[in-house]
Amino acid sequence: MAEDVKRMAELLKSGAAMISKSCPVCASPLFKVGKDIICPRCNRPVVIVGIAEDEQRALGGKILEMVESTILGKIGELNELMKAEGDPERLRALGETLSVWLSALEKLRKLSAESGA
């Protein structure tokens, strides 16, 4: 059995999980061991995940920004609807919707602050 295959088997046996990324050096599948990513062929930790996490965080921040602007737009639309609405029942429904959007906005801003975006 080749050394790297043996190591892969050992990694799997020890509870390591194969991840969808491959080693940038040898293109062998990578394994996640606790917080480390190990290449069984190079037999060393690989650091590509650190970069991927940064990218993911940046992307996450952009998505949160887009969601925030959507929510603000919807709140603006609701405001216009409420101004024009005279029926108490419809106003109540609009008010409830507004409250949903506002709490979504609150959660979103909290999330943005936590993720440092």
Please give the residue ranges that form the binding site for Zn ion (CB under 5 A).
23, 25-26, 28, 39, 41-42
CB-wise, 52 or 91, nearer to Zn ion?
52
CB-wise, 33 or 42, nearer to Zn ion?
42
CB-wise, 24 or 73, nearer to Zn ion?
24
* Shortest distance (Å) from residue 17 CB to Zn ion: 17
* Shortest distance (Å) from residue 27 CB to Zn ion: 7
* Cα–Cα distance, 14 to 11 (Å, whole number): 5
CB-wise, 7 or 41, nearer to Zn ion?
41
The dihedral formed by the CA atoms of 65, 70, 76 and 78, expressed in degrees to the nearest 10: -140
Q: In sequence order, what are the residues at sequence separation of 6 or more whose Cβ sits closer than 8 angstroms to the Cβ of residue 41? A: 4, 7, 23, 26, 28
Residue with tokens 């405001």: 79
Question: Among all residues, whose Cβ is closest to Zn ion?
Answer: 23
Q: Which residues pair with 32 in a beta bridge?
A: 17, 37
* Shortest distance (Å) from residue 35 CB to Zn ion: 18
Q: In sequence order, what are the residues at sequence separation of 6 or more whose Cβ sits closer than 8 angstroms to the Cβ of residue 107? A: none
* Shortest distance (Å) from residue 77 CB to Zn ion: 53
